[in-house]
């Protein structure tokens, strides 16, 4: 459980106002341009590394974005998802939602290494994840936003919380809403942030319910289901990968929502947004028709999610290696 939630008051339509802050009832905890003096090249270093990683592997954009999601849903955005298991420490990487699923850790390692050589013990791993998520969206054609910074890195991790808090691919809308509300995010945030599935891939094992023709409601797209069945049967196991968005798989756009209306949501939890709840279906319709509305809501929800912090100020630490507690 987070110690407190942080809410940001932003005018995201403007790229100025960099002195705005995210505040709680105990004072200012996150702010813009926090590294302007202590590490002025931080954001350009991060952007360059992300750009290089995506040029080598376009799928990496979705993977890096997902790291930030999985970090923030477990005791806030504190970089705990990056910690390795040791003989006397259990991290979150082996939790079912993360095991053989999360990737991109080596990109974070490279970013941290370069930052440590330029400005040691200054930029937190949690802030790196937040900035990397934004840059991955931008480099894939999506919206930009100013990232509030000042997160500190956690000293602990929770495999149990990762197992229980992170929404699963077979979740119903009611389960999705409950898990988002558990961390202070709304139904609207949930639908907007689900749009991150406009990029990336998923294993056949994560959408097995779709292969049975279930999870799609009365308007199930049989051609789509048959194409998935063929892909997964040919692979002979649940490890084959399918694009979350078959139309524009490496582009951050609103095609995900268009696909849902055609019955082409890959994960049962995606298609449920259309079939399970009138409120979520209406938001899907809105985003399918208006990509700018989606972009606006997505970036606002990303700032809100990224501001779920439990460590700031002198709490926690600034790790020198994102994989280990100093």
Catalytic residues: 70
Beta-bridge partner residues of 22: 8, 30
Q: Which pair of tokens denotes residue 164? A: 């229980």
Rounded to an integer, what distance in angstroms lies between the CA atom of residue 287 and that of residue 253?
Answer: 10
Q: Are the C-beta atoms of 193 and 301 separated by less than 8 Å?
A: yes
| Rounded distance between C-alpha atoms, residue 132 and residue 193, angstroms | 16
Do the beta carbons of residue 108 and residue 260 sit within 8 Å? Answer: no
Candidates 45, 10, 3, 44; CA nearest to 26 is 3
- Cβ(67)–Cβ(83) below 8 Å: no
Give CB contacts under 8 A, 24+ apart, made by 181-189: 183/2, 183/72, 183/73, 183/76, 183/305, 183/308, 184/2, 184/5, 184/304, 184/308, 185/301, 185/304, 185/305, 185/308, 187/279, 187/280, 188/283, 188/297, 188/301, 189/301, 189/304, 189/305
Under 8 Å CB-to-CB from 105, ≥6 apart: which residues? 67, 82, 323
What's the rounded Cα separation, in Å, for the pair 255 and 298?
14
């Amino acid at each position: 459980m987070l110690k407190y939630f942080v809410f940001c008051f932003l005018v995201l339509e403007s790229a100025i106002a960099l002195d705005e802050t995210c505040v709680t009832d105990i004072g200012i905890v996150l702010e813009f341009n926090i590294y302007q003096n202590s590490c002025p090249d931080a954001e350009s270093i991060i952007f360059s590394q992300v750009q290089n990683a995506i040029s080598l592997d376009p799928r990496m954009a979705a993977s890096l974005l997902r790291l930030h999601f999985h970090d923030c849903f477990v005791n806030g955005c504190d970089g705990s998802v990056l910690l390795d298991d040791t003989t006397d420490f259990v991290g979150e990487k082996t939790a079912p939602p993360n095991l053989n699923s999360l990737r991109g850790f080596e990109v974070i390692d490279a970013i941290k290494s370069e930052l440590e050589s330029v400005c040691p013990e200054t930029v937190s791993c949690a802030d790196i994840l937040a900035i990397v998520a934004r840059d991955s969206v931008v480099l894939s054609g999506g919206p930009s936003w100013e990232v509030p910074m000042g997160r500190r890195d956690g000293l602990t991790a929770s495999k149990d919380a990762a197992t229980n808090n992170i929404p699963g691919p077979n979740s119903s809308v009611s389960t999705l809403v409950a898990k988002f509300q558990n961390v202070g995010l709304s139904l609207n945030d949930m639908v907007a942030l689900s749009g991150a599935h406009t990029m990336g891939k998923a294993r056949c094992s994560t959408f097995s319910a779709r292969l049975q023709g279930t999870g799609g409601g009365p308007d199930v797209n049989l051609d789509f289901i048959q194409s998935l069945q063929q892909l997964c049967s040919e692979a002979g196991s649940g490890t084959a990968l399918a694009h979350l968005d078959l139309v524009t798989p490496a582009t951050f756009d609103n095609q995900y929502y268009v696909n849902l209306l055609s019955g082409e949501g890959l994960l049962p939890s995606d298609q449920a947004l259309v079939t399970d709840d009138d409120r979520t279906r209406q938001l899907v319709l809105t985003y399918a028709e208006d990509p700018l509305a989606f972009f606006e809501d997505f970036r606002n929800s990303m700032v809100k999610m990224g501001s779920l912090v439990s460590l700031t100020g002198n709490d926690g630490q600034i790790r020198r290696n994102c994989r280990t507690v100093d």
